[in-house]
Amino acid sequence: MRKVSDILRTKGNKTVNISPGTPVIDALRLMDENNIGSVVVVNEGRYAGILTERDYSRKVILKGKSSADTTVADIMSTELPVLAPSDSIDRCMQLMSDKHIRYLPVFDGTELSGIISMSDVVNAIIATQQETISHLENYISSAV
């Protein structure tokens, strides 16, 4: 069974960070520049939450707020469940499905190890399936 640590080893654990007082428009520009859908919010060097495109669309656009006048702290997600590197991909999928979320922080103790996205999980599942198919094809070829 693949683990969250396998995903982080493949994708890396680099996160793009932003402070809570940053205007949302600047956070969106940062996401665009890095071609990502979320940024980690860090306050005084500590993890404070995650800001996602979904947060923006639901808490700014749909509420008629200004992206320039709203801060990251006003709309970021702070009550996300967390993963450990030793957690299974199945646990990750279950949390994302149950909580209707697309990003989860990974902590090794109190240290942020990275962020896992729904795309990361899907890619890991596809890789596992391809590996299984390859093993089955090899088994069938050797049995004939």
CATH architecture of 4-143: Roll (3.10)
- Phi, psi angles (nearest 5°) of residue 48: -120, -20
Specify the pTM. Answer: 0.85
DSSP string of 81-121, one letter each residue: --B-TTSBHHHHHHHHHHHT-SEEEEEETTEEEEEEEHHHH
Strands (DSSP E) found in 33-96: 38-43, 46-52
Q: Does pLDDT of 121 surpass 90?
A: yes
pLDDT at 94: 94
Residues ≥6 apart with Cβ < 8 Å to 99 = 80, 81
Q: Token pair of 94, please?
A: 């279950």
Per-residue pLDDT of 132-142, as tens digits, reads: 888 888 878 88
Per-residue pLDDT of 3-21, as tens digits, reads: 999 999 999 889 999 999 9
pLDDT at 132: 80
- Phi, psi angles (nearest 5°) of residue 90: -60, -40
